[in-house]
A and B are shown apart, each in its own frame.
Chain A
Amino acid sequence: AQRVTQPEKLLSVFKGAPVELKCNYSYSGSPELFWYVQYSRQRLQLLLRHISRESIKGFTADLNKGETSFHLKKPFAQEEDSAMYYCALSPNASGGSYIPTFGRGTSLIVHP
Chain B
Amino acid sequence: GAVVSQHPSRVICKSGTSVKIECRSLDFQATTMFWYRQFPKQSLMLMATSNEGSKATYEQGVEKDKFLINHASLTLSTLTVTSAHPEDSSFYICSARDLGTSGGQKSYNEQFFGPGTRLTVL
Contact = CB atoms under 8 A, between A and B. Distances in A.
Interface residues of A, number: 28
A102 B115 contact: no
How many chain B residues sit at the interface, stated as a range, is: 20 to 34
Interface string A83-101: 0101010101111011110
A97 B57 contact: yes
Contacts of A92: 109
Contacts of A98: 32, 109
Contact of A43 (B43, B108, B113): B113
A95 B106 contact: yes
B51 A97 contact: yes
A104 B110 CA distance: 18
Contacts of B92: none
Contacts of B57: 97, 99
Interface of A: 32, 34, 36, 42-46, 49, 51-52, 84, 86, 88, 90, 92-95, 97-100, 102-105, 107
